[in-house]
Structure 1
Amino acid sequence: MTMNRLLLAALLAPAFATSTAQAQAPAKGVADDIFADHPSMDRNAVVMPGPDAKPVVPFFAERPIGDASIARTADGGWILTGTPLRSGARHGVALWTSIDGKSWKGWGPARIAGNGIAPGDVSERYLAPSVTVARGGLYLAFSDKTGCARIATGTTPGGSFAASPCLVEDTSDASLFVDRDGTGYLLWGGGYIAKLRPGFQKLAEAPRFLKPDQKLFAAHPPVGKDWPVRTRVGRTGATMFRDGDRYLLAASEVTGRMRTATEDLFIAEGPTPYGPFSMRMLAVPHAGRGAIVRRDDGGLATAYNPKCEDGFALFCEQVGLVPLERAPDGRLRQAASVLTEDSAVAARRPLITGETMRDPSVTLGGDGFYYLVGTLDGYGYHKPEGGVKLWRSADLRQWDAVGLVWRWEDMGYDFGGNIAELWAPEIKWVARDRTYYLAFSVMERGVGGKTWLYRSSSGKAEGPYQNVTTSYLVEGIDGFPFEDDDGLYFLWGGGRIAKLNAARSGFDGPVRTLADVDGDAVGYEGNGLIKVNGVYFLTGAEWHGPLRTHGTYDMMYGTSKSLFGPYSQRRMGAPHGGHGTAFADKQGRYWYTMFGNDPTAPWRMHFGLVPIDIGDPASIGVPRIDAARE
């Protein structure tokens, strides 16, 4: 099974989902600065679905189109254009209108003529045209077959349009913005702009490129995969809209989120058409090129017109409308009333909302109860505060806090005054030893991470727990005990593994590294293992897309009939799943724990469960959920 099988019905939440309390304590000092403005913070959220959020649906499906551009008419109706696809006429600028946004009238290719363009010339195929309604006129912006940006002026969809001369050569995605005073601006590409002379027949100035204000990055320049945030708002489809005294610059870009061609809509804002613009923010995932319009209630909305290459879009080559809302910090994002992603993860809800949790780990114990631990207190308890807290459940629905089962004072290790944070505890029932093991990592400022392994001396999940050795077990983070037929193994880091000795105090044999057939790590952190019908499933966490800004933290997996691999080429298992634990419940169904670590996850830093479907010996998928939301 692949993720491409996920359909709209997969967006329905489980019957035992709880309400979404999204409160999140502010982050305190951390072992390094990686959490200073982390995507898992609610203030960075792009998606904050409400309990009654519904998937966006097409409101235009008359024929397949791409690069949709939409505007409102003076009487409150709608006018739409785009790139016609598949069968039928594909030349010129096709137009459709609607009074109510439900029934559409097609006008065919607009009758554009003048300055070398002949009406009805089928060789004139205009890609990504746009439509603008302003000051009693109807304007079509497009790039002709030679790559020249033009504006055609008319008054009605069925009337004639007079084409301007070539305004800019070698352009794409041309659009027109008309300000309240009648001044027109031509935009194209991912953010080029030039003011037009009255009548829109010639440029009034040299073009310039719009981008986020560089002063925003003076103190904290982007690093790594975050470089796009300082160089542009998007790559294609730049459009502008005025909201009060603010100018909204929207553009789209394929960033590689979710390991697929997600074409997302980004928005930046400024006090003038030239800025200075705010840092670009992801506003609507999967939207494609999205023109901003005013809704009937006065709010804003944007077109949703994904390409079929996006494996997680709700539909493709049709047009929907996504309402926008203001986040607490004032930026625009999709409203809480809608869902824009086609995955079974998109509409699920966390199960514990009373406190934050990262890296959740669940095991089915020998007593028939499920036990849960995770990274707490935002981004990990600081020594000497807190420890490892345990929850228990009989049915995976209701989770009751047991309390702290391990505290720092039990460690007996001196960190020399460095800041030390407790990360990624993992709990595992080991049947052959008839007891529970607790692994956890400590990240120490300026030193790195180490991982400890503790064992319950009572055979109970609540402990007490004792260190299997006199110090840490391994250098590195994200320890995971795995019980196989021939013994107990310990997995950590990005795929290192070794067999524990009989005393569990060290290793009996060499340390190996698990990798896929290409030699790549299945995940750079958070590896785990399950074995199903003789097949090993190695899971791991990986970032896709811009890491610090708009990427996704996904669960990857590979399979092998040998514990040491090589594993199959890594594939997506659960979008937004990231660092979690796969386990079987009492009915033999499989689940994956999830906490939400990126701005397009359905929640952030709370424990939840995602069903995983092991449909054949070589794949993991997130199954459709056909039951209605309760």
Structure 2
Amino acid sequence: MISINIFNRILTITLLITLSHSAFAQKAVIGNPIVKGYYADPTIIKDKGVFYIYATIDPWGGKELGVLVTKDFVSFETKHINWPTKAACTSPTSNGSMVWAPSVRKAANGKFYMYVAVGSEIWAGVSDHPLGPWRNAKNDHTPLVAGNKYPGVHNIDADCFIDQDGQAYLYWGSGFNWVNGHCMAVKLKKDMITFDGEPIDITPPHYFEAPHMLKRNGLYYLMYSYGKAIDATYQIRYAVSKTPLGPWAEGENDPILSTSRDSTTVGPGHHTVFQQNGQYYILYHRIHPQKREYVLRELCLDCMNFDSRGNILKIRPNGIKRF
């Protein structure tokens, strides 16, 4: 027979284990938005076990980017970085100093490259560390893509994709007045800033802006936003190809993420995708409920899954139960 003292000890230990597991589960729940503050157009990298999220600071960009550092998506540390430089901000074709929509990748040479919209053109920065210091990747201090380079193309929203063979590609482009979106693409040479050939228009069906490339099981998924970023029509779609430059077949289940019926998620878009422990996650922004003359947005995180045929399933914007 177990004595009362031993029984009480067992009960106490069991209670402590239960509370510990409960506390861990509670800590692992990640609701939307994932962090306080107004951010949009996120990109993410993981380096040495740390996630770095780079984003536009709302309303609609400013003189610096938002940078959030986290290991668990529960605790975040806000950082300041020195990119873009004053030279970029005062470029005659950049439409002022507004900086937004970054893409950051770690290249084969160990350096970090940032492709960012400054006004209406794409600039490139390089650094030895995710937080900088950053410098212009081009020695002549000119934009990678000038604002007036391709008529009819709004030269913003760059995304860099590095294939499994090490070949890098740059995608970018939007439309004007919420119509006629164009997606441009080009191979990059090993220096990550020199174009290997002329950029081409690879615009897939129902595209407006914010391209993001993903490769899975030999298929290339060009993901992007469609609709107006200022209202509930904004949504995330995708197209599939066997090559990184198309041709494209419109994805099944499109749109995979759009305004929810209960309006808890409004105008989701401009996203990035990453993997952690075999699970795909989609990081994006949505419109914060408000009564303002401009739109404020907030960052959200959800699981992204595929069916047996490789189609992206519709995303349930509920946040992450365990990361």
Q: What residue in structure 2 maps to residue 574 of structure 1?
A: 257
Q: Which amino acid aligns with 1:466?
A: R
Q: Deviations over 1:394-421 (max 9, x none)?
A: 1233221232242443637433895431
Residues 41-75 of structure 1 deviation map (CA, whole Å, 9 limit, x = unaligned): xxxxxxxxxxxxxxxxxxxxxxxxxxxxxxxxxxx
Q: Is the 8 A contact 1:592 1:610 kept in 2?
A: yes
CA 1:402–1:417 in structure 2 vs 1: closer, same or farther (change >3 Å)?
closer
Q: Aligned AA for 2:123?
A: W
The structural deviation recorded for 1:581 is 0.9
Distance 1:627 1:437 in 2: 29
Structure 1 equivalent of residue 131 of structure 2? 462
Who is 2:34 aligned against? 351
Distance change in 2, residues 1:551/1:388 (3 Å): closer
Task: Note closer, same or farther for the CA distance 1:563–1:557 as it changes in structure 2 (3 Å cut).
Answer: same
Aligned counterpart, 1:480: 159
Higher share in strand: 1
Letter in 1 for 2:42: P
1:16 maps to: 29
The number of aligned residues is 263
Report the identity percentage.
23
Cα distance in 2 for partners of 1:529, 1:417 equals 25
Measured on the aligned residues, the alpha-carbon RMSD in Å equals 3.1
1:452 aligns with 2:123: yes
Is residue 2:35 matched to residue 1:364?
no
1:474 aligned counterpart, secondary structure: coil
Judge conservation of contact 2:65–2:100 (CA < 8 Å) in 1: no
Secondary structure of 2:234 counterpart: strand
- How far 1:371 sits from its partner (Å)? 0.8
User: Which one of 382, 386, 394 corresponds to residue 71 of structure 2?
Assistant: 394
SS at match of 1:439: strand
Matches within 5 A, 1:160-179: none
Shift of 1:596: 0.8
Which of the two has higher C-alpha Rg?
1
Is 2:83–2:125's contact at 8 Å kept on the other side of the alignment?
Answer: no
Per the alignment, residue 154 of structure 1 pairs with none
Equivalences for 1:108-507 in 2 at 5 Å? 349-353=32-36, 355-365=37-47, 367-381=48-62, 386-409=63-86, 411=88, 413-415=90-92, 419-430=96-107, 432-443=108-119, 449-456=120-127, 458=128, 460-469=129-138, 470=140, 471-475=142-146, 476-484=155-163, 485-493=165-173, 494-507=182-195
- 1:361 & 1:417 partners in 2: Cα distance? 21
Question: Please, which runs of 5 or more residues in structure 1 have no aligned partner?
Answer: 1-12, 19-348, 444-448
3-state SS in 1 of match to 2:286: coil
2:280 pairs with 562, 580, 590, which one?
590
What TM-score does the superposition give when structure 2 sets the normalisation length? 0.72
8 Å CA contact retained: 1:405, 1:463: yes
The answer to whether the Cα contact below 8 Å between 1:405 and 1:465 also exists between their aligned partners in 2 is: yes
- Separation of aligned partners in 2, 1:421 and 1:505: 22
Shift of the 492–618 alpha-carbon distance from structure 1 to 2, 3 Å rule, reads same
The secondary structure found in structure 2 opposite 1:463 is coil
> Residue type of the partner of 1:360?
P
Asked if 2 retains the 8 angstrom alpha-carbon contact of 1:392 and 1:399, the reply is yes
Q: Is the 8 A contact 1:499 1:509 kept in 2?
A: yes
Structure 1 residue 524, shift from structure 2 partner = 0.9
Tell me the SS of whatever aligns to 1:572.
coil
Residues 14 and 370 (structure 1), Cα distance of their counterparts in 2 relative to 1, 3 Å cut: same
Provide the rounded CA distance (Å) in 1 between the counterparts of 2:82 and 2:279.
28
Aligned residues of 1:595 and 1:604 also touching (Cα < 8 A): no
Render the CA deviation track for 1:312-357: whole Å, top value 9, x for unaligned.
xxxxxxxxxxxxxxxxxxxxxxxxxxxxxxxxxxxxx11111x211
More helix by share: 2
Deviation at 1:514, TM superposition (A): 2.2
Structure 1 pair 416/480, CA: closer, same or farther in 2 (3 Å)?
A: closer
